[in-house]
């Protein structure tokens, strides 16, 4: 953790439950954890080429595809807020 500038307090907290309807998006977001676009000011967002490549292999209906994409976008924006908070 120290290599990334984190302390135990940075990652401490209560466990959270992932609701079944959000599980696919969470697992996809987790799978993309190393696929961030980085600029001079730090992280700017996920690499959507990688996102769409993974989603294309998930056998989703068009409606599910849009829903999972939007759920990942919510996770991405929340992560960016947290990353840029400090």
User: Within a domain: residue 4?
Assistant: no
In degrees and rounded to multiples of 5, residue 35 shows phi and psi of -110, 45
User: Within a domain: residue 25?
Assistant: yes
Q: Is the dihedral of CA 21, 26, 32, 37 positive or negative?
A: positive
For the chain, how many structural domains are there in total?
Answer: 1
User: Within a domain: residue 1?
Assistant: no
Q: Mean pLDDT across the stretch 61-82?
A: 97
User: Within a domain: residue 73?
Assistant: yes
Q: What is the pLDDT of residues 12-59, one digit of tens each?
A: 888 889 999 999 999 999 999 999 999 998 999 999 999 999 999 999
Beta bridge partners of 54: none
User: Within a domain: residue 3?
Assistant: no
pLDDT bracket for residue 70 (50, 70, 90): very high
User: Within a domain: residue 9?
Assistant: no
If one compares 3 and 47, the residue with the highest pLDDT of the two is 47
Residue 1: predicted pLDDT: 64
* Prediction pTM value: 0.81
Q: Which domain holds residue 52?
A: 19-83
């Amino acid at each position: 953790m120290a290599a990334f500038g984190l302390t135990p307090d940075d990652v401490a907290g209560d466990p959270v439950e992932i609701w079944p309807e959000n599980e696919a998006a969470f697992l996809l977001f987790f799978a993309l954890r190393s696929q961030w676009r980085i600029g001079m000011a730090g992280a700017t967002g996920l690499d959507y080429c990688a996102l769409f490549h993974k989603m294309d292999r998930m056998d989703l209906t068009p409606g599910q595809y849009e829903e999972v994409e939007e759920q990942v976008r919510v996770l991405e924006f929340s992560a960016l807020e947290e990353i840029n908070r400090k």
